[in-house]
Structure 1
Amino acid sequence: MNRRAFLRGTAVAGTAAIAGCLERLGFEEESAWDNPPLVEDRPDAVYLPAGKEEMGHYGRASDGEYAVELSYTIPHRFWTVAGDTQRVDVDTDDSMHLMLTVWDDQTDTILPVNTDLELRRDDGSIVEQLTPWAMLSQRMGAHYGDNITLPEEGTYTARARVGPVTTERTGAFADRFDDASELEIEFEFERSDIHDLEFEMVDEDRRGAREAHALMDPSGHGHGGHDGDGPGHAPTSDGPPVEDLPGDRLGTERSADAKITAIRTTADRLSGDGDYLVVCLRTPYNDVRLPSATLNATVERGGTTVLEDESLAETIDPELGHHYGVQLAGLESGDELTVAVDRPPQVARHDGYETAFFDFEDVRYTVS
Structure 2
Amino acid sequence: MSGLKMNKKRTVFFILSFMISTYSFPTIYGEMIGEDLGRINDLIVSNSAIYFFEYQPNNDSSTWNYDTYIMKSEGKDINQASKSLFIYPTELNDFENDLYFATLSDQCLGITICDYQDIIKMSKTDGSFEKIVMDLKSAIHISLNDKKLFVSESNGKIWEISLDGHEKKLLYSGNNIIMDITAHGNSAYWIEEIEDQNNRILGITNEEEPRIIDANLKIPYDLRVEDGILHWNEISIMPTRGTIAEFTELKTFFNNSVETKSEFENTSPLSKDRVSYGPYRVYGDFLFLVNNTQNNSIIHLLNFSNNTKYNISTVTDYDIKFLRNDMSNLYVVGVNDSGFIIEKFPLLVNVPEFPMVMIFSAIIMGLSLTVVSRKFFHY
TM-score (norm 2): 0.24
Rg (Cα) greater in structure: 2
- Greater strand percent: which structure? 2
Q: TM-score, normalised by structure 1?
A: 0.25
